[in-house]
């Protein structure tokens, strides 16, 4: 039987902030389910021995997690092996649509798969992030369109993230409190 006040570290690596927002939302959701949650940038992560579980997330750049996330996992492999770990990434794959997009969105880039397999998480989820149109070259826009992309801006799916938080909390047998968490966008 799990403790009703599981101690959970929610760690994130972000370049432009959208992964941090998602981590904050996850932390708020788990807190609402009575967990004792510490939220931290992965480069300022607390000592892991104080926790029962870790939710670790990173933005995707160039089909890889951010380097600070990959090196954190490499440097804390033993500590992570003693904990229940949930892993998420934030990129554009889950925002792709149509027959091509559906195929591409199911592919986990090899470098991310290697990190995932090294921590053997309870679950790994790829969430859609943000894609501001103004930063994208014409070439990249054409490629994105061919892959099944077309939507720009804030593509985060808060319902999907919320459902994942519920699944984590249920796995940890945290009590339901009925609190509703408002997402940041
Ligand atoms: C330099 C750069 C490279 C990126 N490379 C990828 C990529 O290879 N695959 C992907 O799905 N998304 C990629 N993205 C999109 C980001 O993952 C997405 O914008 C995400 O929301 C960024 O998270 P952050 O705001 O926490 O930094 C890239 C974004 C940037 C700025």
User: Using one digit for the tens of pLDDT, what is the confidence trace for 98-118?
Assistant: 999 999 999 999 999 999 999
Closest residue CA from atom 30 of ligand 1? 61
Q: In this structure, what is the dihedral angle of CA atoms 1, 26, 89, 154, given to the nearest 10 degrees? A: 160
pLDDT given at position 4: 56
Cβ 101 under 6 angstroms from ligand 1: no
Closest residue CA from atom 28 of ligand 1? 61
Q: What is the DSSP string of 57-101?
A: EEEEETTEE-HHHHHHHHHTHHHHHTSEEEEEEEESGGG--HHHH
Cβ 17 under 6 angstroms from ligand 1: yes
Is residue 180 domain-resident? no
The residue segments making up the domain with residue 153 are 7-171
Beta bridge partners of 36: 7
pLDDT given at position 3: 46
Is residue 114 domain-resident? yes
Is residue 27's pLDDT more than 90? yes
Is residue 177 domain-resident? no
106 Cα–ligand 1 center, Å:
17
> How many domains, the chain?
1
Is residue 41 domain-resident? yes
Is residue 32 domain-resident? yes
SS3 content of the chain, % helix, strand, coil (to 5): 45, 25, 35
Could you identify the atom of ligand 1 that is nearest to the CA of residue 92? 11
Distance CA 20, CA 11 (A): 9
Cβ 148 under 6 angstroms from ligand 1: no
**For position 56, which CATH number holds?**
3.40.50.360
Is residue 121 domain-resident? yes
Find the mean pLDDT for residues 109-134.
97
pLDDT given at position 135: 77
Is residue 176 domain-resident? no
Q: In this structure, what is the dihedral angle of CA atoms 104, 107, 109, 112, given to the nearest 10 degrees? A: 140
Is residue 179 domain-resident? no
99 Cα–ligand 1 center, Å:
22
Contact 184, 25 (CB under 8 A): yes
- The pTM assigned to this predicted structure is 0.96
Choice from 126, 129, 130, 152 to test ligand 1 binding pocket (greatest atom count within 8 A of CB): 129
Contact 53, 92 (CB under 8 A): no
């Amino acid at each position: 039987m799990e403790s009703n006040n599981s101690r959970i570290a929610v760690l994130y690596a972000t370049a432009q902030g959208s992964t941090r927002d998602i981590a904050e939302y996850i932390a708020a959701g788990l807190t609402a389910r009575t967990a004792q949650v510490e939220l931290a940038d992965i480069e300022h992560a607390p000592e892991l021995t104080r926790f029962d579980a870790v939710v670790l997330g990173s933005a995707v750049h160039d089909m890889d997690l951010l380097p600070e996330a990959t090196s954190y996992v490499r440097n804390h492999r033993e500590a992570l092996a003693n904990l229940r770990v949930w892993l998420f990434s934030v990129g554009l794959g889950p925002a792709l649509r149509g027959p091509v997009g559906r195929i591409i969105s199911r592919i986990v880039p090899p470098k991310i798969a290697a990190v995932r397999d090294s921590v053997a998480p309870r679950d790994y989820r790829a969430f859609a992030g943000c894609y501001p149109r103004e930063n994208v070259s014409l070439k990249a826009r054409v490629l994105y369109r061919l892959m099944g992309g077309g939507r720009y801006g804030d593509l985060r799916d808060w319902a999907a993230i919320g459902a994942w938080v519920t699944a984590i909390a249920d796995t940890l047998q945290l009590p339901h409190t009925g609190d509703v968490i408002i997402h940041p966008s």
